[in-house]
Amino acid sequence: MALHTWLIFLTAVFGLALTPGPNGLLALSHGALYGHRKTLFTVSGGVLGFTLLMALSMLGIGTLLQASAQALTILKWLGGAYLIWLGIQLWRAPPLHLAMAEKADARSSLKLFRQGLLSALSNPKVILFFGAFLPQFLDPRGDLWLQFAIMALTFAVVEGSVEYLLARMAHRVRPWLQRSGKGFNRCCGGLFALMGAALPMTR
């Protein structure tokens, strides 16, 4: 993977990690309820779940590319259209509502890990998203599995770091998201739409 391609991918992954989603909100709520250290188990479970889903998407993409030399171009345009659609949906989404319980029961580290893992695995849209997102950064002339490994590692580090920061800053971030939720959604939605329009045209 070329350095400039990786840097674009890194920027896009940061935008993806900052976009409101079930695991980010779970890390936010667990950070407020149980503290950032214990929430590390929630974050670890979520990152593992996302990595497994990414591996499934990569396997399907790799199989398709082996079957057709033109498959990557088709995937890029279909993926770009899907990203634009996601951007429109996020733009129109209502503000986040992040009400927390006053008291929470103490949960074991294993339960928190399992909750993060299941939150990631139970979202089938993630596989569709990775199927649309990852081909935008592939070079068919290079080693596909090495590129996949670099992308998976980059995503895991960024996603885990952002979720942990959300857990650490839960009490500060929550009120801001509730006040500025609509504008935040539109910013993230615009980012997805721009990626969907621009990335298929890159080579």
Per the structure, the count of domains in the chain is 1
Q: Cα(197)–Cα(127) distance, rounded to whole angstroms? A: 20
4: tokens are 């400039």
The torsion angles phi and psi of 65, rounded to 5 degrees, stand at: -70, -30
0.95 exceeded by pTM = no
CB 47 within 8 A of CB 160: yes
Q: What is the DSSP string of 144-175?
A: HHHHHHHHHHHHHHHHHHHHHHHHHTHHHHHH
From first to last of the 203 residues of the chain, give the pLDDT tens digit: 788 889 888 988 887 787 767 778 778 777 877 788 888 999 999 999 999 888 888 887 777 666 665 766 776 777 678 768 767 876 776 665 555 544 455 568 898 998 889 888 876 667 777 877 888 888 878 888 898 899 999 999 999 999 999 888 876 766 766 666 677 667 767 776 776 777 666 55
DSSP 99: -
How many Å apart are CA 85 and CA 156, to the nearest integer?
25
Write the DSSP symbol of residue 140. T
DSSP annotation of 142 reads S
- List the domain range (segments joined by +) for residue 148: 3-201
CB burial of residue 122 (10 Å; 0-12, 13-18, 19+): exposed
The confidence score (pLDDT) of residue 48 equals: 94
Residue 150 to residues 2, 44, 76, 94, 138, Cα–Cα distance (Å):
11, 19, 19, 35, 11
* pLDDT score for 101: 45
